[in-house]
Structure formats: structure tokens, C-alpha cells
Amino acid sequence: MSTILIVEDEKSIVDLISFNLKREGYDILAAYDGGKGLELALSGRADLVLLDVMLPVMDGFEVLRRIRQSSSVPVIMVTAREEEQDKILGLETGADDYITKPFSIKEMAARIKANIRRTAGTQKPQGGDTYGPFRLDKGLQSITKNGRALELTQREYDILCYFLERPAQVVSREELMEKVWGYDYYGDLRAVDVAMRRLREKLEDDPAEPRYLMTKRGAGYYLQV
Ligand code: CA
């Protein structure tokens, strides 16, 4: 299931879009100003962003510009202004598509579907090594999932790196503590469990039912890709 982030300050419009997209099977995130919108867009939780141009705190173009500094999440600009210039500016700043208000929900749903499909099919190749949906670029110290950068702390990056380099191999908590934290196993092993839980929240679609970072009862953890 895909998650759509709606960045729009008119609550009635958010409610209308949200209601209709939920019926189409999407999960919805909403932000009512540009600052919050940017924060959510960069959280990695959205598969596509519907971005209004006229917004409080930060306008849509500025939000888009900042999103593109670190993320390739598909963005559809929603503009009330008809001027061609706006559309062109939006596309040059890195928008994937645009919709002019007033729009039909049907048109919007079709554009969303097309843009999600397109970006899913044409991930640009980057540097680094691929492991299932993950790509590890040690030069950039970055790990992406399905082309989107995961926002990891240094420790989370180190842990995931350790697993990516040992696919399907069970790693005990003691080993992780020793290799990643660097202490011997007199350290508190619960720190490992806490870190693994946080990591799952960042990379699993459903942290309660992990598909990648698996637990091997009584033995440790392993990565399934
Ligand atoms: Ca607006």
C-alpha cells in the first residue's frame, strides 16, 4: 500500500482528497503548512507528495526545492494559478507533475497512480551495492530502500551495514554489541534490542511484522533480502 502526503493549508480540500484517496486504498499523511510538509516529506514515510503552491510558513516551490536536496520522492504540484510560468518553474525545480485547481478527484487519482508506477519502474542506478530493495553506498554513507534514502543515525547505519554485508546470516546480540558498539559483551544487550526496534520502524513497512530484519528466537537477528 502506498502512502500519499497531502501538503495543503485548506482543511476542507485536505479532507476531500484524503477521503477519496483512502477509498482508493492509499494511506494518507497531511500537513497544513510548508514547514511541516517538508519535515514529513523528508521522513521517508510518503511514496508521493501532493504539494500545494500557496502555503503558510514556506511556499510550495521552496518546499520542493528543499525536498530535492536530498530526496527523489515523486512530487505533484497543485497550483491555483494558471500561469504557465508557475508550472514551468515547478517542473524545473524538480516536480514530477502538476495539477491545476480546480481538479477532479478522478484526474488526481489517475496522476498519482501514474507517477507512483513510473518512479517504481525507473529507479536511476546509483553507486553502491544492491541487496534486495536496499542499496548501500559506503562512499556516501547512505542506505536507500527502493531508491529512497533512509534517515539513519550513525549507529543505525553501522548496524544495517553489518547485516547487509551478511545476508541471511544470524548475528547474535553479543556479536552486534561487540562489532558495532565496540564493547565486549558486558554491555547491556537491551541496547541492541532497542536499536533494532528503532531500525525496524525506519525500514519495515510494518514494524510489528518485519519482512527484512528478522528475529531468530534465542539466537539473534538476521537480514532477509
Ligand atoms: Ca493553499
* pLDDT tens track for 120-141: 654 444 567 888 899 998 877 8
Nearest residue to 134 via CA among 198, 204, 206: 204
* CB neighbour burial string for 69-87, b if at least 16 within 10 angstroms, e if fewer: eebbbbbbbbbeeeeeebb
Q: Are strands 213-216 and 220-223 parallel, antiparallel or unpaired?
A: antiparallel
- Confidence at residue 125, expressed as pLDDT on a 0 to 100 scale: 45
Domains of the chain from N-terminus onward: 3-120 (3.40.50.2300), 128-223 (1.10.10.10)
Cα of 137 vs centre of ligand 1, distance in Å, is: 38
Residue 125: cis peptide before it, omega within 30 degrees of 0: no
Cα of 8 vs centre of ligand 1, distance in Å, is: 5
Cα of 10 vs centre of ligand 1, distance in Å, is: 6
Summarised one tens digit per residue, pLDDT across range 1-30 is 799 999 999 999 999 999 999 999 999 999
Q: Does residue 210 register a pLDDT over 60?
A: yes
Q: CA-CA distance, 196 to 173, in Å (whole number)? A: 10
153/212: higher pLDDT: 212
Cα of 84 vs centre of ligand 1, distance in Å, is: 18
Q: How many CB atoms lie within 10 A of CB 115?
A: 18
Cα of 9 vs centre of ligand 1, distance in Å, is: 5
Cα of 148 vs centre of ligand 1, distance in Å, is: 27
Q: Are strands 48-52 and 75-79 parallel, antiparallel or unpaired?
A: parallel
Cα of 107 vs centre of ligand 1, distance in Å, is: 19
Cα of 103 vs centre of ligand 1, distance in Å, is: 14
